Amino acid sequence: MKVLVVGGGGREHALIRKIKESKKVDSVACCPGNGGISYDAECYNVSATDIDGVVNLAKEIKADFVVVAPDDPLVAGMVDALNDAGFKTFGPKANAAIIEGSKVFSKDLMLKYNIPTAEYKVFDNPQDVLEYIKEKNEFPTVIKADGLALGKGVIIPESLEEAEKGVKEIMEDKIFGESGNNVVVEEFLTGPEVSVLAFTDGKCVKPMVSSMDHKRALDGDKGLNTGGMGTVSPNPYYTDEVAKECMEKIFIPTIEAMNKEGRTFKGCLYFGLMITPKGPKVIEYNCRFGDPETQVVLPRLKTDIMDIFEAINNETLADLDIEWSDDACTCVIMASGGYPKSYPKGIEITGLESGQLDGVTVYHAGTAIEDGKLVTSGGRVLGVTALGKTLDEALDKSYKAVEKITFEGAHYRKDIGQRALKALDK
Ligand code: AMP
Ligand code: GLY
């Protein structure tokens, strides 16, 4: 098979490495890919959001299977267009991807089908939002832009002044464009967060091993929200008991709810969960593999990933046994100086030469090759990933490798996995 992967970040690099392990796969192509991905796949300069461009590319290279990884093309209907053109795909159609594309949709879905989540109210103008927040007078509160916002559409104001500023930015200045036409205001929940990615063909749901993201830019969960500064798998807060409760109250009900709405979801459904004192609740759904969750989940997958993708396509997932390794896996993101605000590009990266980083896989997120040199080209640059018998062992390997890799201004969190280690100690 020739497999085309749409996207160009660390998640796509991890997917491509796993797809290359498949016995069924002869070659992998990627669009647009990145510097590091170009060592593993033929990269084509077609944007991941260019639906016509991707359909034409799939035709041109005679792809046998297309994996659409990022949220925006999924929400915009790339899978629908590829299916219409006769291609087999992995990823939900637009009418199901809305579960990530609209927070108002997902909150209303959970309310209608009694799926545990934070209490909420929807607003379409800034005056009403602020009046409501003023009246409630409970801080922190949570305000979410309805549409896609690069993972940055959530603000958690500690005061009315902060709420006023945030609402103005989202609804009047439109920093996230049309995504800010409506907002959801919701109850602030507390508890450890768990990410669970799940394969589903719309008939059954098979959760993958759990993981923990570290969303803030700085150590101690300080600083701005980012796309994710590191991950560990498994997540110790996701006990067997919690997993059972999630399956019964969240995972199966979500799949059934989407079917009842005539929006069958096929692909990877991402459950962002909070384990509150009142049980697990959904913080968010994503219609795709998480980034950088994928980088710690897929290395633990033992089953041929193309068998899984084909089973989902054929709606025979229930018949497939999916196996995982018991190892721990850790990913430390090395980011450009300044990220998640503005940052320079084109800075040379050194220390990745082969032989230096035994037992470690470096997934490339924002790299390019310029004049034969590997340089930075994005905010999140590399995901330094290691497997180990224990979380401690994996972390040790990831961080030893991070010390060998350099580019000017690089920053990374030094405390990835510390919260998980503390939970294991208890
Ligand atoms: P999201 O983009 O929806 O995952 O939100 C980003 C982050 O904001 C989450 O990972 C949580 O840490 C936090 N968050 C979102 N919703 C809530 C909530 N209702 N209560 C507390 N924290 C939240
Ligand atoms: N790491 C969070 C996400 O992929 O949305």
- What does pLDDT average to over the chain? 96
Global confidence as pTM? 0.96
Copy the structure tokens of residue 140. Answer: 């922190």
- Closest ligand to residue 148's CA: 1
- Closest ligand to residue 146's CA: 1
- Closest ligand to residue 143's CA: 1
Residue of 100, 152, 154, 293 with the most ligand 1 atoms within 8 Å of its CB, for mutation: 154
Copy the structure tokens of residue 128. Answer: 């009403």
126 preceded by a cis bond (ω within 30 of 0):
no
* 154 close to ligand 1 (CB < 6 Angstrom): yes
Ligand 1 centroid to residue 27 C-alpha, Å: 39
Q: What confidence score (pLDDT) does residue 355 get?
A: 60
Over residues 75-106, the pLDDT tens digits come to: 999 999 999 999 999 999 999 999 999 999 99
Entry field: residues in the chain: 426
Ligand 2 centroid to residue 363 C-alpha, Å: 16
Mean pLDDT of 213-219: 96
Q: What confidence score (pLDDT) does residue 238 get?
A: 98
Over residues 324-357, the pLDDT tens digits come to: 999 999 999 999 999 999 999 999 999 998 666 7
Q: What confidence score (pLDDT) does residue 356 get?
A: 67
Q: 3-state SS string over 188-209? A: CCCCCEEEEEEEECCCCEEECC
Q: What confidence score (pLDDT) does residue 354 get?
A: 65
DSSP category for residue 187: P
Q: What confidence score (pLDDT) does residue 197 get?
A: 98
pLDDT at 67 over 70: yes
Which of the pair, 155 or 353, is modelled with greater confidence? 155
Q: What confidence score (pLDDT) does residue 426 get?
A: 72
Q: What confidence score (pLDDT) does residue 301 get?
A: 98
Distance, first Cα to last Cα, the chain: 47
> How far is C-alpha 147 from the chain's CA centre?
16
Q: How confident is the model at residue 5 (pLDDT cuts 50, 70, 90)?
A: very high
Over residues 161-207, the pLDDT tens digits come to: 999 999 999 999 999 999 999 999 999 999 999 999 999 999 999 99
- DSSP letter for each residue of 161-177: HHHHHHHIIIIIS-TTG
* 100 close to ligand 2 (CB < 6 Angstrom): no
Residue of 144, 155, 156 with the most ligand 1 atoms within 8 Å of its CB, for mutation: 156
Q: What confidence score (pLDDT) does residue 358 get?
A: 76
Ligand 2 centroid to residue 198 C-alpha, Å: 14
Ligand 2 centroid to residue 270 C-alpha, Å: 9
- Cβ contact 188:141 at 8 Å: yes
d(CA 66, CA 19): 11
- DSSP letter for each residue of 85-146: TT--EES--HHHHHHHH-HHHHHHHHHHTT--B--EEEESSHHHHHHHHHHH--SS-EEEES
Q: What confidence score (pLDDT) does residue 353 get?
A: 80
Mean pLDDT of 142-159: 91
